[in-house]
């Protein structure tokens, strides 16, 4: 029962803040609502017994990506964009396309809803031998070691790319 209440609270916060993210005029308000959504999704992860992912969500998304967003908003002028038109001219077409997408997803979920009712797990972990972080770490460093290393290279490339994109051009390059 508590699980259900927690789920509905977090889901409501997530969805309402997400709608606010895309409707607010001021970009700073959008960023604040994005933070609320990310925290609510971290709560959803907690209800799914993924404690490690909830921590990573808060640290990486809220502590890293969102702060980066706010920094960039600080660097570039915000005031002028508030007075411009906020939505595209083709927003009607966009909404129609989104409605079709909603229909497709709803149809898929409706037709497949029985397949989500899986038989209960045969061997329920009576006493979880290891904590969630330990399980994730073991899987990450043994079976998924190669993807893990590739992800680190991806991050390195992204760091170099971001620096190369954002730095000032020297006179020698021009």
Which of the residues 10 through 69 are near another protein (CB under 8 A)? Answer: 11, 14-15, 18-19, 21-22, 27, 30-31, 34, 37-38, 41, 44-45, 47-50, 52-53, 56-57, 60-61, 64-65, 68-69
3-state secondary structure of 126: coil
In the complex, minimum distance from the CB of residue 127 to another protein, in angstroms, rounded to a whole number: 14
CB 105, min distance to another protein, A: 5
Looking at 9, 105, 107, 131, which residue binds another protein (CB under 8 A)?
Answer: 105
What is the spatial distance between Cα 161 and Cα 25, in angstroms, rounded to a whole number? 30
Q: Are 62 and 39 in contact (CB under 8 A)?
A: yes
Nearer to another protein, 118 or 172 (CB): 118
Q: How far is the CB of 118 from another protein (least distance, A)?
A: 6
Cβ 54 to another protein, closest distance in Å?
9
Nearest 5°: CA angle at 61, between 63 and 58? 70
Q: Which of 9, 86, 131, 149 binds another protein (CB under 8 A)?
A: 86
Residue 145 engages another protein in binding (rule: CB under 8 A): no
Residues with Cβ < 8 Å from 88, sequence gap 6 or more? 94
Q: What is each CA distance from 156 to 62, 145, 151, 164, in whole angstroms? A: 21, 17, 9, 12
């Amino acid at each position: 029962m508590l699980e259900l209440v927690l789920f509905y609270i977090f889901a409501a916060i997530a969805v309402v803040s997400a709608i606010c993210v895309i409707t607010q005029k001021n970009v700073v308000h959008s960023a604040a609502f994005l933070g609320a959504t990310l925290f609510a999704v971290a709560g959803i992860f907690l209800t799914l017994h993924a404690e490690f992912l909830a921590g990573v969500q808060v640290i990486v998304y809220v502590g890293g990506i969102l702060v980066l967003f706010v920094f960039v908003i600080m660097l570039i002028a915000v005031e002028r964009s508030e007075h411009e038109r906020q939505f595209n001219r083709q927003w009607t077409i966009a909404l129609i396309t989104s409605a079709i997408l909603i229909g497709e997803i709803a149809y898929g979920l409706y037709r497949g809803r029985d397949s989500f009712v899986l038989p209960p797990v045969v061997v329920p972990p009576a006493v979880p031998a290891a904590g969630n972080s330990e399980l994730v770490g073991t899987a990450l460093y043994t079976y998924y070691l190669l993807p893990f290393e590739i992800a680190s290279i991806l991050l390195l490339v992204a760091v170099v790319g971001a620096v190369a994109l954002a730095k000032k051009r020297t006179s020698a390059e021009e």
